[in-house]
Amino acid sequence: MTSHAIQNDVDELVATLLQLDRVASNRVLHRFGAQNDGLIGLESVISGALESIGERWEAGSVSLAQVYLTAKMCQELLRPWTPPESLTPKGNFALVVLEDQHTLGAGLVRAVLACAGMAPVYWGSLDTAGAIARILAEKPQTLLVSTLMLRSALRVSKLTKAIRDAGLSTRVIVGGAPFRFDAALWQEVGADAVGRTSADALALLRAAHRGDP
Amino acid sequence: MTTPTMTPMQRVLTSLSHKEPDRVPFFLPLTIHGARALGVSIRDYFSRSEQVLEGQLRMRARYGHDLFMGLYYAAIELEAFGGEAIFYDDGPPNAGAPIIRGPNDVRSLQAPVIQDCAPLVRVLETLDGLKRHVGDTVPIVGVVMSPFSMPVMQMGFEAYLELLSGDRDTFWRLMAVNEEFCVHWANAQLRAGATAICYFDPLASPTMIDRKTYLDTGHLVAKRTLARVLGPTITHLASGRTLGVIDDLVSTGTVGVGVSVLDDLGEVKRACQHRMTLLGNLNAIEMRHWTPEQTEQYVRDAIRLGGPGGGYILADNHGEIPWQVPESVLDELSAAVLRWGNYPLVEGPWGS
């Protein structure tokens, strides 16, 4: 939830991002960063902007291409402010594309998380057996699963079963087209939460890791 | 229940003319379900054209829908370009790794020769077989991927968005190759027996691309491509929203549009103003667990919103019924159309 104090800056940044105006967006960020807590403040306003853009896509007023290009722009604009070590995966959470070659959704999630100074361990595209093997080997605290096809989404149930059978506490957060068209699907496959947009991943991850540094 | 008085072809053509036929036509794009009916794997099913022909005939014999579907799977066109289709036991084949990794690959790309691609030849054989079976009594829909949406498979979605926003010269070079192939492939299917062509163009939807970019790119491609297709076309946005580009789609010359479950069917009907026939917009993902009562209600709702005045074909919203949808749901769906779809319609549209 974006605080009222930065809402005007968020709204201004959303407007410049949707115009793909790199210069104006950078100006907003520099002004905000100078007046607030530097990187920490910037991450708040950028996360707020990406969340707003995600909501607009959900409502139908913004396209997926715009969601992608604005997220990539934010990543690039933040780069001069971002210490290199923050790009190294830390925290015990992973991201996988399940049973598919389409990585756009995962790419968007990575961009959103990067803008908040978070980097998952990225497993790339794996089949179900491969994903289960990594879960059992690496025991992530949270696993973000991106799917495009219904058959892939249904295979999440095999992941959650493997987690239960192994007695692990891994929380599974799912996202992707099938979950948007069937509101109950995430529960059907035993996931712990569902993100309807890539920006949801940040809030859900923070909820899952509440209390972690 | 009223005894049908029209053939499916008459029914569909009447509705396409924005007149009310004997009942609302309906379309079940059952691409892979024939494999289940024949007791073979999906990979095996598509390996022989006579199997797909038999599968399509059996599906229509059971469910009574009004159009045949010529599509095997979307990735078949990627195979034509030298790519790979990945087969599964429980879903449509998916596109394999991208075949275009940079501008050099686009510069050297050539439009495939249809006769050199065995899977495409099998599609033509199936269309020919369907035509021989039904003549002009049942419409047969061939399918092409739009030149504008095809690059999602050819190069991956992220790389394509980068190309679209950053390298229009290479983009237009790619479109030139894709347009040539698309036109030849569409017309080959029409010659083989297809009645119409479904132009599959998900990126035309404002869900995927903003309208300004679409008008500068995909819309121009669609107008050029569809002008060269020697038969009627229906544009399908694969569950992407259509409101926002209705007038743009009309100007491409397409006669129909696939409507998303994210759209209000009644609102799209009003926006079309009898300029395009609507197909849709049942949620085939949720359909997996519809009760008979839910199935009947969703069918009734769709007919009530889309049916008045013709110009409507009841269908799913994505252009493909998932493998996981039970046969019992499809049986109930068909029965509901026969119960509620006869003209004059029993129920008027809400809010009209």
SS3 sequence, chain A?
CCCHHHHHHHHHHHHHHHCCCHHHHHHHHHHHHHHCCCHHHHHHHHHHHHHHHHHHHHHCCCCHHHHHHHHHHHHHHHHHHCCHHHHCCCCCEEEEEECCCCCHHHHHHHHHHHHCCCCCEEEEEECHHHHHHHHHHHCCCEEEEEECCHHHHHCHHHHHHHHHHCCCCCEEEEEEHHHHHCCCHHHHCCCCEEECCCCHHHHHHHHHCCCCC
What are phi and psi for residue A126, nearest 5 degrees? -130, 150
Model pLDDT for residues B207-248, shown as the tens digit of each residue: 999 999 999 999 999 999 999 999 999 999 999 999 999 999
Task: Give the sign of the dihedral formed by CA A52, CA A56, CA A62, CA A68.
Answer: positive
- Give the residue from A148, A150, A188 with the most B CB atoms within 10 Å of its CB, the best one to mutate: A150
- Asked which of A40-44, A101-105, B160-164, B330-334 is least confident by mean pLDDT, the reply is A40-44
Q: Which amino acid is at A20?
A: L
| Mean pLDDT, chain B, integer | 96
Contact between chains at A181 and B90 (C-beta distance less than 8 A):
no
Residues 6+ positions from A209 with CB-CB distance below 8 Å: A91, A93, A141, A142
Contact assessment for residue A67 and residue A53, using Cβ atoms and an 8 Å cutoff = yes
Residue B352 confidence (pLDDT): 40
What is residue A84's predicted lDDT score, i.e. its pLDDT?
67
pLDDT tens digits for range A80-110? 877 766 666 766 899 999 998 888 999 999 9
Q: Hey, are the CB atoms on B208 and A63 less than 8 Å from each other? A: yes
Q: Is B4 on the interface with A (CB under 8 A)?
A: no
The answer to whether the Cβ–Cβ distance between A101 and B94 falls below 8 Å is yes
pLDDT at residue B4, rounded to an integer = 63
pLDDT digits (tens, 9 = 90+) for B131-141: 999 999 999 99
Nearest CA in chain B to A178: B285
pLDDT tier at A56 (50, 70, 90 boundaries)?
very high
User: Three-state SS for B196?
Assistant: strand
CB spacing of A151 vs B91 below 8 angstroms: yes
Q: How far is A36 from chain B (nearest CA, A)?
A: 33
**Is B94 within 8 Å of A62 when comparing Cβ atoms?**
no
Quote the pTM value: 0.94
Q: Do A104 and B158 count as a contact with CB atoms less than 8 A apart?
A: yes
ipTM of predicted complex: 0.91
Give burial (CB, 10 Å; 0-12/13-18/19+) of B77.
buried
Reported as a single tens digit per residue, the pLDDT across B77-103 is 999 999 999 999 999 999 999 999 999
Interface test with B, best of A57, A67, A101, A110 (most B CBs within 10 A): A101
Pairing outcome for strands B94-95 and B85-86 = antiparallel
Ramachandran sector of residue A128 (left: φ over 0; alpha: ψ -120 to 50; beta: rest): alpha
